[in-house]
Amino acid sequence: MENERTEIDSIGEFGLIERIKNNFANSLQEYTVKGIGDDAAAFQPNKEDEIIVSSSDMLLEGIHFDLTYVPLKHLGYKAVVVNISDIAAMNGKAKQIMVNIGLSNRFSVEAVDEIYKGIQLACKYYNVDLVGGDTTSSPSGLVLSVSILGSVAKDKITYRDTAKPGDVICVSGDLGAAYLGLQVLKREKEVFMVNKDMLPQLDEKSYLVERQLKPEARVDIIEELDKAAVVPTSMIDISDGLASELLHICKMSDVGANIFEDKLPMDRMALETATDDLNISPLVCMLNGGEDYELLFTIAQDDFPKIENNLKIIPIGYIQDKSLGVKLISRANQSIDIQAQGWKHF
Protein backbone atom coordinates (compact mmCIF):
# COMPACT_ATOMS: atom_id res chain seq x y z
CA MET A 1 0.00 0.00 0.00
CA GLU A 2 2.82 2.40 0.92
CA ASN A 3 4.52 1.84 -2.44
CA GLU A 4 1.45 2.01 -4.59
CA ARG A 5 1.03 5.32 -6.38
CA THR A 6 -1.64 6.03 -8.95
CA GLU A 7 -1.47 9.48 -10.55
CA ILE A 8 -4.76 11.37 -10.35
CA ASP A 9 -4.33 12.22 -14.06
CA SER A 10 -4.63 8.52 -14.89
CA ILE A 11 -8.21 8.32 -13.60
CA GLY A 12 -9.11 12.00 -14.04
CA GLU A 13 -11.32 14.26 -11.98
CA PHE A 14 -14.47 12.31 -12.82
CA GLY A 15 -12.79 9.02 -12.02
CA LEU A 16 -11.79 10.45 -8.67
CA ILE A 17 -15.29 11.70 -7.89
CA GLU A 18 -16.70 8.31 -8.91
CA ARG A 19 -14.32 6.64 -6.51
CA ILE A 20 -15.42 8.93 -3.68
CA LYS A 21 -19.07 8.41 -4.54
CA ASN A 22 -18.76 4.62 -4.50
CA ASN A 23 -17.43 4.69 -0.97
CA PHE A 24 -20.27 6.82 0.33
CA ALA A 25 -23.23 5.77 -1.80
CA ASN A 26 -25.27 3.85 0.78
CA SER A 27 -25.04 6.21 3.68
CA LEU A 28 -28.06 8.41 3.02
CA GLN A 29 -29.73 9.34 6.28
CA GLU A 30 -33.00 10.98 7.08
CA TYR A 31 -33.67 14.18 5.08
CA THR A 32 -31.00 13.55 2.43
CA VAL A 33 -32.89 13.00 -0.82
CA LYS A 34 -30.02 13.21 -3.30
CA GLY A 35 -26.32 12.96 -2.52
CA ILE A 36 -23.26 12.99 -4.77
CA GLY A 37 -23.81 12.79 -8.52
CA ASP A 38 -26.20 15.51 -9.67
CA ASP A 39 -25.74 19.24 -10.12
CA ALA A 40 -26.75 19.81 -6.52
CA ALA A 41 -27.61 17.75 -3.47
CA ALA A 42 -31.25 17.67 -2.34
CA PHE A 43 -32.79 17.64 1.13
CA GLN A 44 -36.24 17.12 2.48
CA PRO A 45 -37.26 20.24 4.45
CA ASN A 46 -37.06 19.50 8.14
CA LYS A 47 -39.94 19.73 10.54
CA GLU A 48 -41.79 23.00 10.85
CA ASP A 49 -40.31 23.85 14.25
CA GLU A 50 -36.70 23.17 13.25
CA ILE A 51 -34.01 25.59 12.15
CA ILE A 52 -31.28 24.70 9.67
CA VAL A 53 -27.77 25.58 10.82
CA SER A 54 -24.78 25.64 8.50
CA SER A 55 -21.06 26.25 8.82
CA SER A 56 -17.83 25.93 6.85
CA ASP A 57 -14.12 25.56 7.60
CA MET A 58 -11.16 25.72 5.26
CA LEU A 59 -7.80 24.08 5.98
CA LEU A 60 -4.68 25.08 4.05
CA GLU A 61 -1.48 23.07 4.05
CA GLY A 62 1.35 25.05 5.64
CA ILE A 63 -1.08 27.27 7.56
CA HIS A 64 -3.48 24.97 9.36
CA PHE A 65 -1.65 21.67 9.11
CA ASP A 66 1.78 20.24 8.38
CA LEU A 67 1.78 16.89 6.58
CA THR A 68 5.14 15.92 8.06
CA TYR A 69 3.31 15.03 11.27
CA VAL A 70 -0.36 14.97 10.35
CA PRO A 71 -1.44 11.69 8.70
CA LEU A 72 -3.87 12.27 5.81
CA LYS A 73 -6.51 10.05 7.37
CA HIS A 74 -6.43 12.10 10.56
CA LEU A 75 -6.64 15.29 8.55
CA GLY A 76 -9.82 14.09 6.86
CA TYR A 77 -11.31 13.04 10.18
CA LYS A 78 -10.47 16.33 11.89
CA ALA A 79 -11.77 18.45 9.02
CA VAL A 80 -15.20 16.87 9.54
CA VAL A 81 -15.07 16.92 13.35
CA VAL A 82 -14.36 20.65 13.61
CA ASN A 83 -17.50 21.32 11.57
CA ILE A 84 -19.61 18.97 13.68
CA SER A 85 -18.31 20.82 16.72
CA ASP A 86 -19.59 24.11 15.25
CA ILE A 87 -23.06 22.61 14.81
CA ALA A 88 -22.93 21.21 18.36
CA ALA A 89 -22.07 24.72 19.60
CA MET A 90 -25.44 25.87 18.20
CA ASN A 91 -27.02 23.02 20.23
CA GLY A 92 -27.69 21.34 16.87
CA LYS A 93 -27.35 17.96 15.27
CA ALA A 94 -25.13 17.58 12.18
CA LYS A 95 -26.76 15.98 9.13
CA GLN A 96 -24.85 16.48 5.89
CA ILE A 97 -21.39 17.63 4.80
CA MET A 98 -19.81 18.77 1.56
CA VAL A 99 -16.09 18.46 0.92
CA ASN A 100 -14.10 20.74 -1.38
CA ILE A 101 -10.61 19.62 -2.13
CA GLY A 102 -7.69 21.22 -4.00
CA LEU A 103 -4.89 18.85 -5.00
CA SER A 104 -1.49 19.29 -6.59
CA ASN A 105 0.24 16.50 -8.53
CA ARG A 106 2.19 15.71 -5.35
CA PHE A 107 -0.94 13.83 -4.26
CA SER A 108 -1.77 10.41 -5.63
CA VAL A 109 -5.13 8.66 -5.82
CA GLU A 110 -4.04 6.63 -2.76
CA ALA A 111 -3.38 9.84 -0.83
CA VAL A 112 -6.91 11.05 -1.63
CA ASP A 113 -8.22 7.64 -0.55
CA GLU A 114 -6.54 8.13 2.84
CA ILE A 115 -8.14 11.56 3.33
CA TYR A 116 -11.55 10.13 2.46
CA LYS A 117 -11.04 7.15 4.77
CA GLY A 118 -10.78 9.64 7.60
CA ILE A 119 -13.80 11.57 6.30
CA GLN A 120 -15.77 8.36 6.08
CA LEU A 121 -14.82 7.28 9.58
CA ALA A 122 -16.09 10.60 10.94
CA CYS A 123 -19.28 10.38 8.85
CA LYS A 124 -20.02 6.92 10.27
CA TYR A 125 -19.19 7.83 13.85
CA TYR A 126 -21.27 11.02 13.84
CA ASN A 127 -23.95 9.74 11.47
CA VAL A 128 -23.66 12.40 8.76
CA ASP A 129 -23.86 12.05 4.98
CA LEU A 130 -21.28 13.25 2.50
CA VAL A 131 -23.58 14.75 -0.13
CA GLY A 132 -21.21 16.54 -2.50
CA GLY A 133 -18.31 18.87 -2.96
CA ASP A 134 -15.88 20.09 -5.53
CA THR A 135 -12.51 18.90 -6.78
CA THR A 136 -9.88 21.16 -8.31
CA SER A 137 -6.16 21.24 -8.86
CA SER A 138 -3.97 23.38 -6.66
CA PRO A 139 -0.49 24.68 -7.63
CA SER A 140 1.33 23.13 -4.67
CA GLY A 141 -0.32 22.55 -1.32
CA LEU A 142 -3.39 20.67 -0.23
CA VAL A 143 -6.62 22.57 0.40
CA LEU A 144 -9.43 20.87 2.27
CA SER A 145 -12.68 22.67 2.96
CA VAL A 146 -15.71 21.12 4.63
CA SER A 147 -19.18 22.65 4.81
CA ILE A 148 -21.88 21.26 7.02
CA LEU A 149 -25.64 21.36 7.44
CA GLY A 150 -27.44 20.52 10.64
CA SER A 151 -30.68 21.20 12.41
CA VAL A 152 -31.93 22.24 15.81
CA ALA A 153 -35.37 22.72 17.35
CA LYS A 154 -36.44 26.38 17.30
CA ASP A 155 -36.68 26.59 21.08
CA LYS A 156 -33.25 24.98 21.62
CA ILE A 157 -30.97 26.91 19.29
CA THR A 158 -28.15 28.46 21.33
CA TYR A 159 -26.23 31.59 20.34
CA ARG A 160 -23.19 33.39 21.68
CA ASP A 161 -24.93 36.64 22.55
CA THR A 162 -27.48 35.54 25.15
CA ALA A 163 -25.52 34.95 28.39
CA LYS A 164 -26.99 36.70 31.45
CA PRO A 165 -25.44 37.85 34.76
CA GLY A 166 -25.74 35.05 37.30
CA ASP A 167 -25.44 32.23 34.73
CA VAL A 168 -23.00 29.45 35.56
CA ILE A 169 -20.09 29.11 33.09
CA CYS A 170 -19.27 25.48 32.22
CA VAL A 171 -16.80 23.55 30.06
CA SER A 172 -17.22 20.01 28.77
CA GLY A 173 -13.72 18.66 29.39
CA ASP A 174 -10.03 19.28 29.97
CA LEU A 175 -8.19 22.14 28.28
CA GLY A 176 -4.75 22.74 26.82
CA ALA A 177 -3.93 19.17 25.81
CA ALA A 178 -4.33 19.70 22.05
CA TYR A 179 -1.91 22.63 22.13
CA LEU A 180 0.61 20.58 24.11
CA GLY A 181 0.13 17.72 21.64
CA LEU A 182 1.09 20.10 18.85
CA GLN A 183 4.22 21.22 20.72
CA VAL A 184 5.22 17.58 21.22
CA LEU A 185 4.71 16.82 17.51
CA LYS A 186 6.73 19.89 16.48
CA ARG A 187 9.56 18.87 18.76
CA GLU A 188 9.58 15.35 17.33
CA LYS A 189 9.65 16.82 13.83
CA GLU A 190 12.78 18.82 14.67
CA VAL A 191 14.49 15.76 16.11
CA PHE A 192 13.53 13.79 13.02
CA MET A 193 14.87 16.49 10.67
CA VAL A 194 18.27 16.27 12.37
CA ASN A 195 18.38 12.49 12.52
CA LYS A 196 16.05 10.59 10.17
CA ASP A 197 16.76 7.33 11.98
CA MET A 198 15.20 8.56 15.20
CA LEU A 199 11.78 7.09 15.69
CA PRO A 200 9.26 9.36 17.37
CA GLN A 201 8.91 8.87 21.13
CA LEU A 202 5.24 9.59 21.40
CA ASP A 203 3.85 6.68 23.41
CA GLU A 204 3.78 8.37 26.77
CA LYS A 205 2.33 11.49 25.16
CA SER A 206 -0.40 9.56 23.37
CA TYR A 207 -3.32 11.41 24.96
CA LEU A 208 -1.90 14.82 24.01
CA VAL A 209 -1.08 13.78 20.46
CA GLU A 210 -4.52 12.26 20.06
CA ARG A 211 -6.18 15.46 21.28
CA GLN A 212 -4.28 17.31 18.54
CA LEU A 213 -4.59 14.82 15.69
CA LYS A 214 -7.94 13.20 16.39
CA PRO A 215 -10.21 15.55 18.30
CA GLU A 216 -13.86 14.66 18.88
CA ALA A 217 -16.93 16.89 18.80
CA ARG A 218 -18.90 16.88 22.07
CA VAL A 219 -22.21 15.69 20.68
CA ASP A 220 -22.53 13.57 23.84
CA ILE A 221 -22.83 16.76 25.90
CA ILE A 222 -25.53 18.12 23.58
CA GLU A 223 -27.50 14.89 24.06
CA GLU A 224 -27.06 14.93 27.83
CA LEU A 225 -28.14 18.55 28.13
CA ASP A 226 -31.18 17.66 26.06
CA LYS A 227 -32.00 14.67 28.28
CA ALA A 228 -31.67 16.86 31.36
CA ALA A 229 -34.04 19.37 29.73
CA VAL A 230 -31.42 22.10 29.91
CA VAL A 231 -30.97 24.64 27.12
CA PRO A 232 -27.76 26.61 27.70
CA THR A 233 -28.19 30.38 27.72
CA SER A 234 -25.16 30.71 25.42
CA MET A 235 -22.59 28.41 23.85
CA ILE A 236 -19.40 28.38 21.73
CA ASP A 237 -16.89 25.66 20.91
CA ILE A 238 -13.31 26.10 22.06
CA SER A 239 -11.21 26.25 18.91
CA ASP A 240 -9.02 29.24 19.81
CA GLY A 241 -8.58 28.78 23.56
CA LEU A 242 -10.80 29.44 26.57
CA ALA A 243 -9.83 33.13 26.96
CA SER A 244 -10.70 34.06 23.42
CA GLU A 245 -14.01 32.13 23.43
CA LEU A 246 -15.10 33.51 26.81
CA LEU A 247 -14.36 37.03 25.57
CA HIS A 248 -16.51 36.34 22.49
CA ILE A 249 -19.46 35.31 24.66
CA CYS A 250 -18.99 38.27 27.02
CA LYS A 251 -18.54 40.85 24.29
CA MET A 252 -21.49 39.62 22.27
CA SER A 253 -23.74 39.20 25.32
CA ASP A 254 -22.63 42.54 26.79
CA VAL A 255 -21.68 40.98 30.12
CA GLY A 256 -18.62 40.31 32.28
CA ALA A 257 -17.41 37.07 33.87
CA ASN A 258 -15.41 35.61 36.72
CA ILE A 259 -13.67 32.29 36.20
CA PHE A 260 -11.56 30.53 38.83
CA GLU A 261 -8.08 29.19 38.16
CA ASP A 262 -8.55 26.32 40.61
CA LYS A 263 -11.67 25.14 38.75
CA LEU A 264 -10.06 24.96 35.30
CA PRO A 265 -9.70 21.33 34.19
CA MET A 266 -6.39 19.98 32.92
CA ASP A 267 -5.36 16.41 32.24
CA ARG A 268 -2.58 15.10 34.50
CA MET A 269 -0.32 14.18 31.59
CA ALA A 270 -0.86 17.61 30.08
CA LEU A 271 0.07 19.25 33.36
CA GLU A 272 3.27 17.21 33.69
CA THR A 273 4.26 17.83 30.08
CA ALA A 274 3.70 21.58 30.38
CA THR A 275 5.64 22.00 33.63
CA ASP A 276 8.35 19.30 33.59
CA ASP A 277 8.95 18.85 29.90
CA LEU A 278 8.12 21.92 27.84
CA ASN A 279 8.38 24.59 30.52
CA ILE A 280 5.15 26.31 29.51
CA SER A 281 2.65 27.68 32.02
CA PRO A 282 -0.29 25.23 32.33
CA LEU A 283 -2.59 28.21 32.81
CA VAL A 284 -1.48 29.75 29.52
CA CYS A 285 -2.07 26.38 27.79
CA MET A 286 -5.63 26.23 29.14
CA LEU A 287 -6.44 29.89 28.39
CA ASN A 288 -4.68 30.36 25.07
CA GLY A 289 -3.89 26.93 23.65
CA GLY A 290 -6.14 26.12 20.71
CA GLU A 291 -8.08 23.25 19.23
CA ASP A 292 -9.51 21.49 22.28
CA TYR A 293 -12.98 21.45 20.68
CA GLU A 294 -14.65 21.32 24.07
CA LEU A 295 -17.87 23.27 24.52
CA LEU A 296 -17.99 26.44 26.60
CA PHE A 297 -21.53 27.29 27.70
CA THR A 298 -23.56 29.15 30.27
CA ILE A 299 -26.50 27.77 32.24
CA ALA A 300 -29.20 29.64 34.15
CA GLN A 301 -28.78 29.15 37.90
CA ASP A 302 -32.23 27.53 38.13
CA ASP A 303 -31.16 24.87 35.63
CA PHE A 304 -27.81 24.16 37.23
CA PRO A 305 -29.06 21.49 39.69
CA LYS A 306 -30.26 19.43 36.72
CA ILE A 307 -26.69 18.86 35.50
CA GLU A 308 -24.78 19.32 38.74
CA ASN A 309 -24.05 15.59 39.06
CA ASN A 310 -22.86 15.17 35.49
CA LEU A 311 -19.12 14.70 35.91
CA LYS A 312 -18.44 15.64 32.29
CA ILE A 313 -19.77 19.15 32.87
CA ILE A 314 -17.36 21.33 34.82
CA PRO A 315 -18.48 24.66 36.30
CA ILE A 316 -15.62 27.17 36.14
CA GLY A 317 -17.23 30.48 37.11
CA TYR A 318 -20.19 32.76 36.55
CA ILE A 319 -21.39 35.59 34.34
CA GLN A 320 -21.53 39.02 35.97
CA ASP A 321 -22.35 42.59 35.08
CA LYS A 322 -20.30 44.06 32.24
CA SER A 323 -18.88 46.79 34.48
CA LEU A 324 -17.09 44.13 36.57
CA GLY A 325 -15.02 42.96 33.59
CA VAL A 326 -13.89 39.54 32.40
CA LYS A 327 -11.58 38.20 35.10
CA LEU A 328 -9.62 35.18 36.19
CA ILE A 329 -9.49 34.69 39.95
CA SER A 330 -6.06 33.16 40.58
CA ARG A 331 -5.20 30.54 43.20
CA ALA A 332 -3.74 33.39 45.24
CA ASN A 333 -7.16 35.07 45.02
CA GLN A 334 -6.01 37.85 42.72
CA SER A 335 -8.37 39.18 40.08
CA ILE A 336 -6.62 39.24 36.68
CA ASP A 337 -7.97 40.71 33.43
CA ILE A 338 -8.46 38.04 30.77
CA GLN A 339 -6.77 39.09 27.54
CA ALA A 340 -7.54 37.99 24.03
CA GLN A 341 -4.39 36.25 22.99
CA GLY A 342 -5.74 33.74 20.54
CA TRP A 343 -4.39 31.25 18.24
CA LYS A 344 -3.99 33.49 15.25
CA HIS A 345 -2.81 32.05 11.99
CA PHE A 346 -1.78 35.45 10.65
Under the rule (CB under 5 A), what is the footprint of Mg ion?
Answer: 134
Counting Cβ atoms within 10 Å, is residue 291 exposed (0-12), middle (13-18) or buried (19+)?
Answer: buried
Q: Which does 17 bind (CB under 5 to 8 A by kind): Mg ion, ligand ADP, none?
A: ligand ADP
- Partners of 151 in beta bridges: 52, 93
The answer to whether residue 58 forms part of the interface with ligand ADP (CB under 6 A) is: no
Please name the helix (run of DSSP H) or strand (run of DSSP E) that holds residue 50, with its range, or none. Answer: strand 50-60
- 223 touches ligand ADP by CB under 6 A: no
Cite the DSSP H helix spans in 57-168: 72-88, 109-126
Shortest separation between residue 132's beta carbon and ligand ADP, angstroms:
3
Q: Which stretch binds ligand ADP (CB under 6 A): 126-134, 235-243, 255-263, 285-293?
A: 126-134
**Binds ligand ADP (CB under 6 A): choice among 37, 189, 193, 339:** 37
Least distance (Å) between residue 153 CB and ligand ADP = 29
Choice from 2, 4, 39, 48 touching ligand ADP (CB under 6 A): 39
CA gap 126, 121 in Å, rounded: 9
26 part of the interface to ligand ADP, by CB under 6 A: no
> Rounded to an integer, what distance in angstroms lies between the CA atom of residue 301 and that of residue 122?
35
Q: Which is nearer to Mg ion, 7 or 134 (CB)?
A: 134
Q: Do the Cβ atoms of 112 and 101 come closer than 8 Å?
A: yes
Binder to ligand ADP among 99, 225, 231, 313 (CB under 6 A)?
99
Q: At its nearest, how many Å lie between Mg ion and the CB of residue 134?
A: 4
Q: Which is nearer to ligand ADP, 120 or 183 (CB)?
A: 120
| Sign of the Cα pseudo-torsion (321, 322, 328, 331, in order) | negative
Q: Minimum distance from CB of 13 to ligand ADP (Å)? A: 7
Q: What does 62 bind: Mg ion, ligand ADP, none (CB cut-off 5 to 8 Å by kind)?
A: none
Residues 91 and 234 sit within 8 Å (Cβ to Cβ): no
Which distant-in-sequence residues (6+ apart) come within 8 Å of 343 by Cβ? 179, 239, 240, 241, 244, 288, 289, 290, 291
Binding site for ligand ADP (CB under 6 A): 17, 20, 36-39, 99, 101, 130, 132-135
